[in-house]
A and B are shown apart, each in its own frame.
Chain A
């Protein structure tokens, strides 16, 4: 990646952190008072971002499945950078969802008094499992380079690398072989964990019997495909930034294209079945998505920019790495609209007829629009994520660790 682009991204991330600080200040000092969500739309922008971030972690999952499940070597070099990306997105997810909690300091309650009947408990268990798997994996992949870099006394931060290498000064062939074996085992273990993890996002919504748009067996499937699509788009875009090779980008482009087609098919089915069922709650929610005040988020942002243009690029120019990268970037950029469009419309329907005329307060309305403070907090978290990722890509040996990995992947 060229220095001028790198510096531009770092600069934008710093500006984002500075601007977003105002939202963070509002949240930390005044709690939830300056935010727009209420009791009838209790989950808003931050939960949509939470789902968005959780979905992005699927990028590394795709690499894992392809490399270790299907023994496709080409993508193995993307392993370290995608694992690092998972850790950064999990960090962003943890940050933004803790902003959404009424009492974030009580997060330890998940461990002290868990309710195993709750899908949210299981989601937290799987998030912790993902942290454990990917953190260990990340360390094992980079260990050799931590030792090497700590020995280079001219390298800035060599003491830090020495600390990360836990004082180890040599890395033998036996160490390498043992770590590779562990990495392979972790990768294989991460496949079932990943499937359950991405399915659980959907299950969180699917089990709610009072939410007709969400309640159903298709929701976990839709969420899994959505996660794979957004994660796949992200990893393809990163591949373009760091390894712009046709042999990597081209198959990734095919995978993203297939996932996009499957996702659009499932989404189409949801609309078809929803309208055919005629259930008031479902039809009202679908109408809100397609013809409500934010119709443009669905038709223009999601369908036109995030689906039709990428489809055109991926089908018409399947060998052009720039076209593939652009298609993936557009999917990635617009996918947040998909998450928001899925989350809000079901919440934005009054659950009892007449409720809208009974007790007037801004927290007891369904017409939710995220306010500036919510956006600023999101900008802060995203900027921190971007900054961490790009600084990490320079300061951590994620790029050299990927080189030559494809020879050993299987």
Chain B
């Protein structure tokens, strides 16, 4: 009461913000994300969308939804905290990479060069948010029997999903085998390949509660900027000085 009801879907506004941001010079954009945990219902749609978008294999996950129980019986509550990569402005993971295979772009996104990464996993150890996972070469269809005729066997099942190249970083990553990204550290990259063509990250568009807000955090007119200014804003493990670009609203 006393507050205006929303007149448009936040997605429409975010799309408009994104269009405006893409008009700017790339170095003037600083991507950011706000997650309103009061709105998150823990449906895990963002996790599933991310896995599908990036063709993530088993054991590799960019965005999990942490379920936290508060209080003790009978006075208990539950809250959900989606956890993508924080895209820290002072990222501990990039400092430790011995071969400069991971770095922060001028737009503030921490990325990995799959062709340069040696797979030492030091960045996994250094990340305070456990936001990096290693691709150990797992297959969803491993153990699926070969079959002929009308039954879908391993090859057919794999062809429908696993053999599709991932479009991460705007490249077509080849069939999974021993080559990259197998053996590499992998992480959320704010769906850069989608942003490039004017689309919001998969986790943002798939959020049914509109709990995930994305945009240029330096644009005062953007929704993400407005949200970051909220007194409800906090960041995970702020005491470490990592300065995440992912903000939360209590």
Residue ranges of A at the interface with B (Cβ–Cβ < 8 Å): 30-33, 35, 38-40, 42-43, 100-104, 106-107, 109-110, 112-115, 117-121, 124, 207-211, 347, 350-355, 357-359, 361-364
List B residues 53-97 near A (Cβ within 8 Å). Answer: 58-61, 64-69, 81, 83, 92, 95-97
Contact A102:B183 (CB < 8 A) given known A119-B96, A209-B240: yes
Mask of B106-147 contacts with A, CB within 8 angstroms, 1/0:
000000000011111110111111101111111000000000
Contacting residue for A358 out of B66, B101, B128, B184, CB 8 A: B66
A43 cross-chain contacts in B, Cβ below 8 A: 121, 125
Question: In this complex, what residue of A is CB-closest to B184?
Answer: A102
Shortest distance in angstroms between B18's beta carbon and chain A's nearest beta carbon?
Answer: 28
Q: Does B180 contact A (CB under 8 A)?
A: yes
Contacts of A100 in B (CB 8 A): 120
Q: Does B100 have its Cβ within 8 Å of any Cβ on chain A? A: yes
Least distance between A105 CB and chain B CB atoms (Å): 9
Establish whether residues B119 and A359, one from each chain, have CB atoms under 8 Å apart when the complex forms. Answer: no
- CA gap between A375 and B40 in the complex, in Å: 44
**Distance between Cα atoms of A364 and B118 in the complex (Å):** 21
A121 to B122, CA, bound (A): 11
Q: Which residues of A contact B25 (CB under 8 A)?
A: none
Given contact pairs A106-B118, A118-B122, A358 touches B59 in the complex (Cβ within 8 A):
no
The listed residue (B66, B68, B136, B185) touching A38 by CB distance below 8 A is B136
Q: Check A103–B83 contact: CB distance below 8 A.
A: no
Q: Is B153 an interface residue (CB 8 A)?
A: no
A109 and B183 within 8 A (CB): no
Is B212 on the interface with A (CB-CB < 8 A)? no
User: Given the known A-B contacts A39-B133, A351-B129, A358-B64, are A115 and B138 also in contact in the complex, defined by CB atoms under 8 Å?
Assistant: no
Residues of A within 8 A of B117 (CB): 102-103, 106
Main secondary structure of the interface of B (DSSP, over half): loop
Please classify the interface of chain A as helix (H, G, I), strand (E, B), loop, or mixed, using the class held by over half of its residues. loop
B239 to chain A: closest residue by CB: A209
Q: Decide if B130 touches A40 in the complex (CB within 8 Å).
A: yes
Q: Is B124 within 8 A of A211, CB to CB?
A: no
Q: Is the CB of A42 within 8 A of B127?
A: no
Is A102 a contact of B64 with CB atoms below 8 Å? no
Smallest Cβ-Cβ distance to A29: which chain B residue: B178
User: Is the C-beta of B47 less than 8 angstroms from some C-beta in chain A?
Assistant: yes
Cα A4 to Cα B206 with chains together (Å)? 71
Contact B92 A209 (CB under 8 A): yes
A30–B183 Cα distance when bound, in Å, is 11
Establish whether residues B68 and A353, one from each chain, have CB atoms under 8 Å apart when the complex forms: yes
- Measured in the bound complex, the distance between the Cα atoms of B136 and A209 in whole Å is 26
Expressed in whole angstroms, the minimum distance between the Cβ of A256 and any Cβ of chain B is 32
Which residues of the other chain, A, contact B122 by a CB distance below 8 angstroms? 118, 120
Q: Which residues of B contact A210 (CB under 8 A)?
A: 92, 126-128, 237, 240
B130 to chain A, nearest CB (A): 5
Task: Please determine whether A118 and B130 come into contact, CB atoms closer than 8 angstroms.
Answer: no
Indicate if B170 sits at the interface (CB-CB under 8 A): no
A122, chain B: closest CB distance, angstroms:
9
Set of chain B residues within 8 Å of A31, measured between Cβ atoms: 136-137, 178, 182-183
Closest CB in chain B relative to A161 CB, distance in Å: 38
A264 to B228, CA, bound (A): 50
Of B83, B98, B121, which contacts A114 at CB under 8 A? B98
Q: In whole Å, how far is B122's beta carbon from the nearest beta carbon of chain A?
A: 6
* CB atoms of B96 and A39 under 8 A apart: no
| Nearest A residue (CB) for B183 | A102
Assuming the A-B contacts A31-B182, A113-B100, are A39 and B118 also in contact, with contact meaning beta carbons closer than 8 angstroms in the complex?
no
A102, A110, A353: the one contacting B119 at CB < 8 Å is: A102
Q: For residue B84, give the distance in angstroms from its CB to the closest CB of chain A.
A: 12
Q: Which of B68, B92, B138, B184 contacts A103 (CB 8 A)?
A: B184
Q: Does B5 contact A (CB under 8 A)?
A: no
A354 contacts B47, C-beta separation under 8 Å: no
Given contacts A103-B118, A364-B133, contact A42 B98 (CB under 8 A): no
Cβ of B92 and Cβ of A110 under 8 Å apart? Answer: no
Distance (whole angstroms) from the CB of A201 to the closest CB of chain B: 13
**Bound form: Cα–Cα A313–B225 in Å:** 69
Q: How close is B136's CB to chain A, nearest CB, in angstroms?
A: 5
Interface: B99 (CB within 8 A):
yes
B99 x A110 contact (CB < 8 A): yes
